A and B are shown apart, each in its own frame.
Chain A
């Protein structure tokens, strides 16, 4: 009782209330203490409603909308708008027997979806492009980018297109559809869930097997470790500084920065995906895997089967194949590959550096395809090793453009690596940033852990009691807290 009283004494109600209001600087992300508490309260309700199908769906949808409101403010209305519009388009398409009318409805749906994405994400990009070309000043648009818009527009698009193609039947209840569109675990950062994967799960009863629970705990623990321990630490204490001012650092520091960034973006992105998949699993929903140890790839084609799988397969099914895929001759196939990757690059952000990143990958995919067709290399270990080495370094090279923001910065990084490498500083640099490079090394080692071991660990966790599982989660969260409040590495400049 005393504990409760001292707690209410200390509680700052203004700050508590502020947690429930949209604040652009503090979106609701999984690796925060507030989310953990909120999720606990949410799960209590979820557990109570687990047998009431309709009420449970409404409950989750309401929570999802709140979740989105916390990250994007009033833009949650966009989500509502998108839901209402796409629900009806899909129904009208399914109900119409006239091919022309169906096509018209699909086109309208594409215009609405892509128009929304274009308006918020690319207006300024094209306006500034126009300005640069004509030299005439153009007023820029002052809008914030709604969080996750690239993810959920692609998700709803897949629904309407699949209905148009007759691959799925449209939902006949708008609340079911709202549940699919807004489902909070993957809402803002993926994986991009296909309607065909998710919709059949909506009507299922809640059942979480021991295996599911073990897998969820492992996914969340590993995801937190990747995102909030490895990625956040190396980014703040090393990588960001290099990309802020590449010219201030020797080539070796820049090179380590690039390797570091390759790990950082993988850990950040795949870690967050893993947490999302784990959280969905705790609610008894299965989301598709998004990353499969991509840096193990021995060719660029393989890389794209392992990196951001939900996006690359989306691009394949809804962009590459409609463009003609490989059905219109070899030349068209290469062009289609290239175009798909170019647009895929632009999807990541409205900047020419992303376009360059996509173009490089598109080109590499075409070259790889050609190479495989002409030379048909045998899968010897030497070929594999060579393929791995080239693939990894090519991917790293492309990350420079992805991260740099401007071509000027990218050029500086490349210039320093090629003109002022100074490999003699390696030990000095690594020695001065020991925790950073220990984490980088650990990250890469963990990346090469075979899948069998992961499955084994899932099994071990599944057989343990919920207490043990909670201890594992607690240990990782405690580690996250340690890293999150650790002192920043003092800045060290080398005399080179």
Chain B
């Protein structure tokens, strides 16, 4: 071969394309060492598209029409149909009407809301979730809209420490490093210090008995809260409620509000005691210094007002919801005696749905236990199951709805129906199939690049959608899909449910 001949790059590329063509003839689904080989599709951009993965799967119906619970006007719940019949086909799954009707089960909450509107009587809401609501994302906006409409102030229950304290904008929390914490993912849980409603229990450092307990400088544990400026309703603390369990009789807490310190004895030997702290006038800062002479479980502080709406954010990252059963029922019931919840929201799913898993009966079963315990511990509360949001996975290099999403949604909907809980199909409400992809690609983006978690803008949009759903129910309980909220959006939160207000 003549070394001085020019090489032929065309041949190089032709051979490369040819070799890739040969590779594309390989059977799909080959695995090497357990890893599935992805097919080579050189012409994928110009060939006819196969049906998208999700469209070929069955989708659960949107919210509604209502199947009233036994409580609702005395009508009986329809007998549960077999599983296969409960899951309609795609064609049925996409009606023109907006997907916001009640499946039944919000009655208690709606009655409470009406009373709040009439005389200000407090309505308390617990919002349980995973990383989707961390740092008061979603719940912060929802609380703001509810408090603007129905009154009330405060961010609700805040555990003593949080992994997302630095991220949360509605309240700024700092704490000493010497708290001992047990939570839903602790390998072993001590029976003597049961987990509280948030899924945590905190033990302040035990200080020597001889220490001067009137001074903060004895090395005890402390926690400090500073009101966040994000929403008007949470810029000051009207009331703070400290929740703790039994301990030695000489324990006390020094309460400092805006520089003014008052000692309080930690009395009470019940499984749960609520200490109400009322600063002379609404404060911006609260510091609690604990002097405990023996182990004493402390759960958290709730910032609230005597009237209007209180909404507690119980986020726990990585949680599927199923581990809530690690909270001992007796302790949950103890919280139920003190906190009069009228609505409990369970928002889970992104940590459960997995493209490789086609069956979610295990999830439905485990969550049935969770719902059942909530219903018994909080008999006055309506339960609202939120169907998971859209989540993408990658198919041939493109992000599309994970095929497990509709399967899990169906399980969540059955869970709600069988327990007479309400169900809100967030997947459908946010736009259905492949919405996550468009949210990630939106400018500015509404979701993160993991194609699973929404960001603060996306969370606000979901909060507005959820608020619109609740207000629709408030206006026409159990009726056909509600139109607009009965009351016009308050001036403080000008955003319509579908728009993203500019910050």
Contact = CB atoms under 8 A, between A and B. Distances in A.
A39 B13 contact: yes
A481 B185 CA distance: 38
Given A33-B42, A46-B10, A481-B40, A40 B19 contact: no
Contacts of B41: 33
B258 to A, nearest CB: 25
B172 to A, nearest CB: 11
B118 interface: no
Interface stretch (A149-157, A201-209, A300-308): A201-209
A19 to B, nearest CB: 6
Q: Which label, helix, strand, loop or mixed, suits the secondary structure of the B interface?
A: loop
Contacts of A208: 6-9
A219 B294 CA distance: 68
A488 B450 contact: yes
B163 interface: yes
B89 interface: no
> Could you say which interface size class chain A belongs to?
35 or more
A213 B8 CA distance: 9
A47 B10 CA distance: 7
Contacts of B16: 36, 470, 473-474, 477
Interface string A37-50: 10110011011001
Contact of B395 (A247, A415, A485): A485
Q: Which label, helix, strand, loop or mixed, suits the secondary structure of the A interface?
A: helix
Interface string A458-486: 00000000110111011001100110111
Given A248-B134, A495-B317, A470 B7 contact: no
A64 interface: no
Interface stretch (B43-51, B189-197, B340-348): B43-51
Contacts of A420: 166
Given A33-B42, A37-B42, A248-B135, A47 B8 contact: yes
Contact of B455 (A50, A210, A244): A244
A107 interface: no
Interface string A4-22: 0001001110011001000
B434 interface: no
B396 interface: yes
In this complex, which of A7, A32, A33 has the most chain B Cβ atoms within 10 angstroms of its Cβ?
A33
Contacts of A47: 8-10
Contacts of A40: 10, 13-14, 17
Given A248-B135, A478-B40, A486-B394, A16 B46 contact: yes
B453 interface: yes
Nearest to A36: B17
B318 interface: yes
A375 interface: no
A231 to B, nearest CB: 14
Given A36-B42, A485-B38, A466 B318 contact: no
B484 interface: no
A144 B49 CA distance: 30
A241 B449 contact: yes
B48 A493 contact: no
Nearest to A236: B449
A126 interface: no
B15 interface: yes
Contacts of B354: 490
B164 A470 contact: no
B13 A43 contact: yes
A36 B21 CA distance: 12
Interface in B359-406: 392-397
B7 A43 contact: no
Q: 6 closest pairs, A vs B, by CB?
A: A247-B167, A470-B15, A493-B317, A282-B9, A240-B449, A474-B19
27 contacts: A11-B47, A12-B49, A15-B46, A33-B41, A36-B42, A40-B10, A43-B10, A208-B7, A213-B9, A240-B449, A247-B135, A248-B164, A419-B166, A466-B11, A470-B13, A470-B15, A474-B23, A477-B16, A478-B40, A481-B38, A481-B397, A482-B38, A485-B394, A488-B450, A492-B318, A495-B185, A495-B318
Interface of B: 3, 6-20, 23, 37-38, 40-49, 131, 134-135, 163-164, 166-167, 183, 185, 317-318, 350, 354-355, 392-397, 441, 448-453, 455
